[in-house]
Every structure is written in structure tokens, then in C-alpha cells.
Chains A and B, each alone.
Chain A
Amino acid sequence: MNRYDKKTLAREGLVVLAALLLMLPFYFLVNTALKSDVDALNTSAMALPPQLSMEGIEAAWSGSPTRNIPAGVLNSIIITGGSLLTLIAFGSIAAYTITRIPGRITGLLYGMFVLGIILPFQLGMVPIYVVMRNFGLVGTHLGMILLYSGLLMPLSVFLYTGFTKALPREYEEAAQMDGSTPFQTFRRIVFPLLSPATGTVAILCGMIIWNDFFTSLIFLSGSQNAPLPVVVYGFVGEQVSKWNVIFGAVILSMIPILAFYLVAQKKFIQGFAGGIKS
């Protein structure tokens, strides 16, 4: 039944056609972004640009006085990077501690982390906003890093625990006999062994933080520390039907994550398929 026959060829053709139809929005995106201001208004969406033009992309790159896309990229990198460092450092060591100290308390802590994955965070936004406002953290990078670290720590601990549970103790025992302190053992021996989990945490949490709009709109809108989605949202709001400029901004905002995806697409897909299933 696994021969590649005429029926398989027909199926292949059908699936490719369906996939191409589904990808049509990307054609409109790139096609329109490469049109001049005049052509974007006067030619149909299907028609290729009469003349390739960077007007839209350039206008989006220079932004407006209050909406600066390169600054948004930088803010997104700082916030995502800072949160990931926290999630990886504290998440890995917490998962290790929970696995290596068995007992009712650590069991309870593990339950608390797992429940945190399911509980939606919207309800907590109001009180957290108020507390952060009192501490002057609203509109700052640090505030966002703390917030995302707390919201996504359950996912991080959960993904790490999947690995620490399967970790053999022999390496740690050998290191201890060589006179290594517990923390040295964790840092030099255990943490490197956890690197597949670190990869999954970085990809899943990194994507969620990078693309998050709801939380950053609440905490960072109108601030000069606003990340990419908030900047793009504000910028697009200022452009009335200048679709080549809007799509210029959309393309610029997609480039960083798409580049990551194309380089590491296997890890992305495995991270989702494995991380969500377990």
C-alpha cells in the first residue's frame, strides 16, 4: 500500500494546490509592500507591481515621531531576552530542586506550577497593574520582564521537570566525590544535560513573549519602551489605507521571528508537538 502510484501523485497535486491557496495571503503581503504609494492605490492586489518600489518599507522603517519600528525591535529583544534568562535560570534550578528533594511540600509546589499553566492570567492583570503602578514599574522593561517571568514560569518548570525526572544521579554523585559543591554540580554538570529542555523553553516561551500583544498593550502602550506589536499597532492606526506602508511595517515586524523559524524550523515544530503533548 505504500507504492507511489498515480493515486498518490493525484493526492500530492491536490495537497500542494490547497497549501498554495492557503499561502496566498503572503503573496498579497509581499506584492503590496513592494508597490509605490500610487500603484498600491491604483493596481489590483493580484497584479504584480508595475515598478518595484521600496517606498512602503522605507516609510515604515523611518516610522513616525511616536512609533519607531527599530526601537520596537530593540525593546522586544530586551524584554524577550531578559524574560528568557530569568525563565531558564530560575526554572531549571527549581525543577531540579523539586525532583531531587522528594516530599509532600515539593509535590505541592509542583502541583502549583502545573495548575499555573492552565489558569488564565487575564484576571490578575488589574491588581498586578495597580501594584506595578505603585512601584513605578508600569511602562518599564524590568516590569515586563518580571511579569512574563511569573506568567510563564509554570510552563518553564513543567518542561524542565520532564527532563530532570529522567536524569540519572550517577553524574552528580561522581562530581560530589571529586569535591564539587552542590551548586557547582548543578551549574557544570546538570544544567548542560538539560539543554534540550532549555531549547524548548526558549522557543515556546520566547515566541509567546515576542508575539504577545494584550499584556504589552496594557502595560506599555504610549511608552517609549513599547515592544514591536504595540508599535506596529500604533503605527498602522496612523496610516489610513496606505497599504504598502502598513505591509512594510508588517513585513519588518515579521523578519526577526521568521528568520529564527527558518533556521530552526525542526526545533520549533518539535517544541510544539512535544512540549504541548507531554
Chain B
Amino acid sequence: MGRVAVWWWAAPAVLLVLGMHYGGIAAGSIYAFTDWRGIGPFKFVGLDNFINIFRNPKASQALWNTLLLAGGFLVLTNVIGMAFAVALNRQLKSRHLLRTLLFMPVVLSPLAVSYIWKFIFQPQGPLNDLLRAVGLEDQTRAWLGDPSSAIWTILIVMVWQHIGLTMVLYLAGLANVPMELEEASAVDGAGAWRRFFHIVLPLLRPTIVVASTLILVQGLRVFDQVQAMTAGGPFNATETLSTLVYKETFVSGRYGYGAALSLLLTVLIAVFAVLQIVLLRGKKEEN
């Protein structure tokens, strides 16, 4: 048989990826070690940018907030999504409708979703209305303006929007759990909880790894929700690595410092991505 493809057919895609992805990342890694301000000459400053990150309380706070949000996002989105998937998996008459409804927030822009929740958390908004209605007047507060609650409002918005995503992933995973296996153990007298922890959960492990990585990487990059709801305030209480990168680089023009922050974020994400590959590979070799 003759040739069916010519090698240069792949060239446009390869060039686009090399230019926009690898070229950008390589150049960005170099900027991270300079004092460049966007225009004019620059000099290499070694690790100064990174030392500044760890000395600067604002940047340390952003790093801590990012890890807190990503961790909370990881746990809550997976647990709640899995709970809905298990509840919806079989039998329920309304399962198709509920699946469509619960997945709907996933397709919306995080920015638009954040505005809805910003309204809910307003001092005169529905959340405080509800608290007053049930007699918890003393619990009302300016949720977004209070440094102790602001970060949790961001987390709630992130989790709320992505429950449908993990639910759909776990529904696909559950479809691979053979019903006979569950029935057999039910006949053996295993209760619903036992069946879930001893039969269903181990079989869901590959899905858990994929869903966790996806959610964690998204969580580490959190930007839209913060920008829309609090813009990093009050007093940096909701500042994240991505919002700080945006401010330092594109608002203040500290390109070198911003690139160093980005590099830190990139390394964080890369570590977790590699961890997923290792976990998945380990699973494959076991089988």
C-alpha cells in the first residue's frame, strides 16, 4: 500500500503548540530569574524573586489560600459528587432529569456563576435573610467583607459549580461496577454501607484518581471566582497565586516577579499531575 499521510501534515499543529505552549513556558521560566519590568533591558537576579515571594506576607498568604481552596475543593467536590452519583445510579425515576439539572452549572462561565453567589452573600442578601428568618440573627454578617468568612464563600462557589462534573465522572465509573457483584454480596448479607466501602469504592479507584487530579489542578488555578467576588480582598484574605500573578504582572508590570509566581504555580501543578500518572501506572501494573 502507498503512503496515506505526509509528515508535514502535522506541522501546523506542532508549530502552534511549540510556539504558544512550550516557547511561552520556556521563555517564562527564564523571566522568572530576572528583574524585567516589561520594557527595556533586564538583568538576571538569581533566586531573588523567589526569596521575595517567601518573605512577602501577601505572597505567602496567596500560596496558603491557594492550597486551602484547592484542598477543600478536592475533598468536597469529590465526596458530594460521588454521593449524588451513587444516589442517582440506578432505580430512581427522575435520574436523567436530575443528571441534566445538576450538570448544568458545569457548562456556565465561572464568572457568571460567581455573580449569582455574590448576590446571595450580600449583607442584605438571601443568606442573611434566611438566618434572620430562623432566628440566627447573631450569625448574619457581611460574608464577602469579613476576612474570616470570605475565603469560604469562594470555596462554596467553586464546589457548587463542579459537583455535577464529578457526579458525571463517577456515574461513568459506576457503570463499570458489575451489578452481579453487588447482588452477590447483598445475598451474603452485606449491608449497603459495607457493599459501598468494600466493593464499589475499590472499583472506583481509577475514577477517583482522574477526578481528583482534574479538580485539584482546576483548584490550584482558581481565578475567576476570586476576581468576581472579592478581587482578593478583604486585606488579601482571598488572594490566590493566579490573582496575584495577574496583579503583579499585568497591573503592576513586575514581569519578572510575576513570572516567578507563575513558575511556582506551574511546579505545584506539575507535581500533582506527575503524581496522577504514577498512581495510574501503578494501578495498571497491578492488574
Nearest to B29 among chain A residues (CB) is A123
Cα of A154 to Cα of B90 in the assembled complex, Å: 36
8 A Cβ contacts from B70-118 to A: 84, 87-88, 90-94, 98-104, 106-113, 115-117
The segment from A48-56, A61-69, A89-97, A191-199 found at the interface with B is A89-97
> Does any Cβ of A come within 8 Å of B9's Cβ?
yes
Beta-carbon contacts under 8 Å, B233-286 to A: 242, 245-246, 249-250, 255, 258-259, 262-263, 265-266, 269-270, 273
CB-based contact A124/B92 at 8 Å: no
Task: Please determine whether B87 and A97 come into contact, CB atoms closer than 8 angstroms.
Answer: no
Cα A258 to Cα B21 in complex, Å, equals 30
Q: Whose C-beta in chain A lies nearest to the C-beta of B21?
A: A116
Q: Chain A residues near B163: list those with CB within 8 A.
A: 22
Answer whether residue A6 sits at the interface, using C-beta atoms and an 8 A cutoff: no
Q: How far is the CA of A20 from the CA of B271 in the complex (A)?
A: 38
Q: Does A112 contact B (CB under 8 A)?
A: yes
Q: How large is the interface on B (under 10, 10 to 19, 20 to 34, 35 or more residues)?
A: 35 or more
Nearest A-chain residue to B170, judged by Cβ: A273
* A153 interface residue (CB < 8 Å to B): yes
Judged by DSSP, the binding face of B is: helix
A154 in contact with B250 (CB, 8 Å): no
Interface residues of chain A: helix, strand, loop or mixed (majority): helix
- B246 near A217: Cβ-Cβ < 8 Å: yes
The answer to whether the Cβ of B5 comes within 8 Å of any Cβ in the partner chain is yes
Q: Does B227 contact A (CB under 8 A)?
A: yes
Whether A272 contacts B262 by the Cβ 8 Å rule is no
User: Are A12 and B171 also in contact (CB < 8 A) when A32-B119, A100-B5, A124-B24 are?
Assistant: no
The smallest beta-carbon distance between B52 and chain A, in angstroms, is 17
Set B3, B17, B87: member contacting A182, Cβ < 8 A: B3
Flag if A254 contacts B23 (CB, 8 Å): no
Interface bits B1-36 vs A (CB < 8 Å: 1, else 0): 111111101101110111111111101110110000
Q: Assuming A19-B98, A217-B246, A274-B172, is B23 touching A127 (CB within 8 A)? A: yes
Neighbour of A236 across the interface among B19, B115, B129, CB < 8 A: B115
Do the beta carbons of A218 and B246 come within 8 Å of each other? yes
B116 touches A121 (CB 8 A): no
Smallest CB–CB gap between A263 and chain B, Å? 12
Chain A residues, CB < 8 A from B68? none
A185–B4 CA distance with the chains assembled, in angstroms: 8
Most buried by B among A29, A91, A112, A276: A276
Indicate whether A172 reaches chain B with its CB closer than 8 angstroms. Answer: yes
Question: When the two chains form the complex, which single residue of A93, A98, A172, A269 contacts B103, counting CB atoms closer than 8 Å?
Answer: A269
In the assembled complex, A45 has its CB within 8 A of some CB on chain B:
yes
Which A residue sits closest to B12, measured CB to CB? A90
Q: Is A85 interfacial (CB-CB < 8 Å)?
A: no
Tell me, rounded to whole Å, the shortest Cβ–Cβ distance linking A103 to chain B: 9
Stretch of B55-63, B144-152, B216-224 contacting A (4+ beta carbons < 8 Å): B216-224
Kindly state the separation between the CA atoms of A223 and B119 in the bound complex, as whole angstroms: 28
Contacts of A169 in B (CB 8 A): 1, 4
CB of A247 within 8 A of CB of B119, answer yes
Asked whether, in the complex, the Cβ of A28 is within 8 Å of the Cβ of B20, the reply is: no
B residues adjacent to A (C-beta < 8 A): 1-7, 9-10, 12-14, 16-25, 27-29, 31-32, 38, 84, 87-88, 90-94, 98-104, 106-113, 115-117, 119-120, 122, 125-126, 129, 160, 163, 165, 168-169, 171-172, 182-183, 186, 207, 210, 214, 217, 221, 223-224, 227-228, 242, 245-246, 249-250, 255, 258-259, 262-263, 265-266, 269-270, 273
A-B contact pairs, 16 of them (CB 8 A): A1-B183, A19-B98, A97-B7, A123-B263, A124-B24, A125-B28, A130-B255, A150-B20, A150-B21, A153-B21, A176-B4, A210-B109, A213-B227, A232-B111, A247-B115, A261-B104
Apart from A123-B262, A126-B258, 15 more pairs, CB < 8 Å: A15-B84, A44-B129, A93-B9, A112-B22, A116-B22, A126-B255, A126-B259, A128-B20, A153-B21, A186-B5, A211-B111, A246-B119, A250-B116, A258-B108, A273-B171
For the complex of A and B, list the 9 residue pairs with the smallest distance between their C-beta atoms, beginning with the closest: A124-B24, A150-B20, A127-B27, A94-B13, A45-B126, A211-B109, A273-B172, A123-B28, A150-B16
Which A residues fall within an 8 A CB radius of B? Answer: 1-2, 4, 8, 11-12, 14-16, 18-19, 22-23, 25-26, 28-29, 32, 44-46, 86, 90-91, 93-94, 96-98, 100-101, 106, 109, 112-113, 116, 118-130, 146-147, 149-151, 153-154, 156-157, 169, 172-173, 176, 182, 185-186, 207, 210-211, 213-214, 217-218, 228-229, 232-233, 236, 241, 243, 246-247, 250, 253-254, 257-258, 260-261, 265, 268-269, 272-274, 276-277
